[in-house]
């Protein structure tokens, strides 16, 4: 009996001390393009009038604010498969290590970037190269990936100074969970020239509905 009472008291204390977290969900009005059928859909980076974005369109929704930094971030990957970057768009937190495995059968790649947020050149490497070529992305900004061998290949890494971000689905729907209470700016990155934003006041245990309509 004493053990049961002790466990109930401990559970109650933990419940009181654990901060309730909030969430945000909504929809981003994505640009309209002709997309491939679902069975053959493949995300690629396209340039239209100097603007880089995904085709079919996707957005990255993220919470901008002051958050503690972490020294133990999970390693992410951008693979090369069928002469394309997979995923075509990868959001990461500042300080994240990204590996670039070559998953082709008999094709070499040479991944590089001239972007101000990260300049690098991995050199030419074969499939299943070990150790897997990698880079640490330690400056916030947009990084354009290219291949020196295959000029049509493009990929994007969006480096963010926040741990709270998510990629929308094809319809623009998103849901961010586990957010701390406070006043923030919610942003939706759509392409290299378009980022919409919305101020929010997030309360513990609440779920906000926030939509990003297209600007007229």
Give per-residue pLDDT as tens, 151-161. Answer: 999 999 999 99
Give a yes or no: residue 143 inside a domain.
yes
For the stretch 167-197, pLDDT in tens is: 999 999 999 999 999 999 999 999 999 999 9
> Which residues lie below 8 Å from residue 28, measured CB to CB, with a gap of 6+?
59, 61, 168, 172, 174, 188, 190, 196, 211, 212
Q: Say how far apart CA 3 and CA 8 lie, in whole Å.
A: 9
Which pLDDT value is given to residue 15? 42
Containing domain of residue 112, as a range? 20-209
Alpha helices by DSSP H, the chain: 2-17
DSSP at 87: S
CATH of the domain at 89: 2.60.40.420
Give a yes or no: residue 181 inside a domain.
yes
Six-digit token string for 181: 């209470």
Give a yes or no: residue 27 inside a domain.
yes
Which pLDDT value is given to residue 110? 97
DSSP at 105: S
Count other C-beta atoms under 10 Å from residue 166's C-beta.
17
Give a yes or no: residue 5 inside a domain.
no
- Comparing CA positions, the residue from 99, 106, 108, 105 lying closest to residue 131 is 99
> Which residues lie below 8 Å from residue 180, measured CB to CB, with a gap of 6+?
19, 21, 22, 202
Length, in residues, of the chain: 216
Q: Are 199 and 191 in contact (CB under 8 A)?
A: no
Which pLDDT value is given to residue 121? 98
- Comparing CA positions, the residue from 173, 145, 174, 142 lying closest to residue 159 is 142
Give this prediction's pTM: 0.87
- In 3-state terms, what secondary structure has residue 199? strand
Q: Say how far apart CA 147 and CA 145 lie, in whole Å.
A: 7
- Name residues of the chain where pLDDT drops below 70: 1-20, 33-41, 216
Give a yes or no: residue 92 inside a domain.
yes
Which pLDDT value is given to residue 71? 82
Is residue 168 reached through a cis peptide bond, with omega within 30 degrees of 0 on the bond before it? no
Which pLDDT value is given to residue 160? 97
Count of domains observed in the chain: 1
Give a yes or no: residue 3 inside a domain.
no
Which pLDDT value is given to residue 8? 44
H-run or E-run covering 200: strand 194-202
Six-digit token string for 184: 């923030």
- Per-residue CA distances from 114 to 117, 118, 119, 192 (Å): 9, 7, 5, 15
Pairing, β 89-93 against β 154-160: parallel
Which pLDDT value is given to residue 2? 53
């Amino acid at each position: 009996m004493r053990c049961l009472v002790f466990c109930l008291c401990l559970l109650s204390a933990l419940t009181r001390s654990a901060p309730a977290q909030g969430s945000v969900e909504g929809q981003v009005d994505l640009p309209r393009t002709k997309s491939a059928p679902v069975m053959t859909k493949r995300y690629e980076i396209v340039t239209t009038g100097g603007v880089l974005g995904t085709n079919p369109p996707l957005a990255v929704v993220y919470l901008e604010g002051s958050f503690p930094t972490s020294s133990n971030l999970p390693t992410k990957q951008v693979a090369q498969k069928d002469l394309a970057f997979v995923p075509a768009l990868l959001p990461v937190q500042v300080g994240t290590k990204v590996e670039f495995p070559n998953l082709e059968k008999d094709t070499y790649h040479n991944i590089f970037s001239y972007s101000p947020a990260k300049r690098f050149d991995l050199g030419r490497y074969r499939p299943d190269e070990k150790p897997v070529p990698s880079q640490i992305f330690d400056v916030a900004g947009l990084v354009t990936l290219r291949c020196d061998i295959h000029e049509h290949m493009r990929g994007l890494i969006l480096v963010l100074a926040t741990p709270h971000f998510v990629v929308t689905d094809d319809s623009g729907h998103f849901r961010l969970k586990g957010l701390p209470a406070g006043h923030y700016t919610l942003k939706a990155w759509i392409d290299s020239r378009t980022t919409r934003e919305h101020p929010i006041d997030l309360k513990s245990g609440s779920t906000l509905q926030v939509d990003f309509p297209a600007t007229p």
